[in-house]
Amino acid sequence: MKVTCIVEQPRNEPYRVRYEPSAKAFIKTEFISLMHARDFMGVYGWVADSGTPPDPHFDILIATNEDFAAGEVIDAHVCGMYLREDGDHKLLALADDVIRANGVSEICLSQLPEVLRSNFLGVYPYLNLGEAWLNAAEAIQFLHSNLATSGD
């Protein structure tokens, strides 16, 4: 499933970037970016049709080799999800450039080449009770079930 996303955290940005809705701008904070600290190869943002931070929305980690700026709109293919105990779930997706560069034929977390799978798993290396890594079909089902009600 292809989704349209808004980039919030550019790749290789050492400081956390957050969206400030009152200013309709992306602000660099003084906090270290988790994505950068854990060597995530990609960007972080939210699914465009799911709402806008800080209101309810769906977060998404997108594996990409391209340098997208905060606020850029990109398309990505959902490949899984990190189901969190606190409800702040993280969708996982691949940008087209990563699919081509890695010869990905099946867009599913468990079927990805190890370099891509470990890229996602390394962001949240420890699972708490009630947490899980979900494959594409489960993530897509979650999206279909919840997208219509998000952003209300």
CB half-sphere exposure, 117, CA atoms < 13 A: 14
**pLDDT tens-digit readout, 68-105:** 999 999 999 999 999 999 999 999 999 999 999 998 98
State what percent of residues in the chain have pLDDT above 70.
97
pLDDT category of residue 149 using cuts at 50, 70 and 90: low
Which overall architecture, per CATH, does domain 2-146 show?
Answer: Alpha-Beta Complex (3.90)
- Contacts for 27 with CB less than 8 Å, ≥ 6 apart: 17, 18, 19, 20
Instruction: Give the pLDDT score at 75.
Output: 97
Instruction: Give the pLDDT score at 69.
Output: 97
Instruction: Give the pLDDT score at 152.
Output: 40
Domain extents in the chain: 2-146
- Tokens at 62, concatenated: 């997108």
**pLDDT tens-digit readout, 6-64:** 999 999 999 999 999 999 999 999 999 999 999 999 999 999 999 999 999 999 999 99
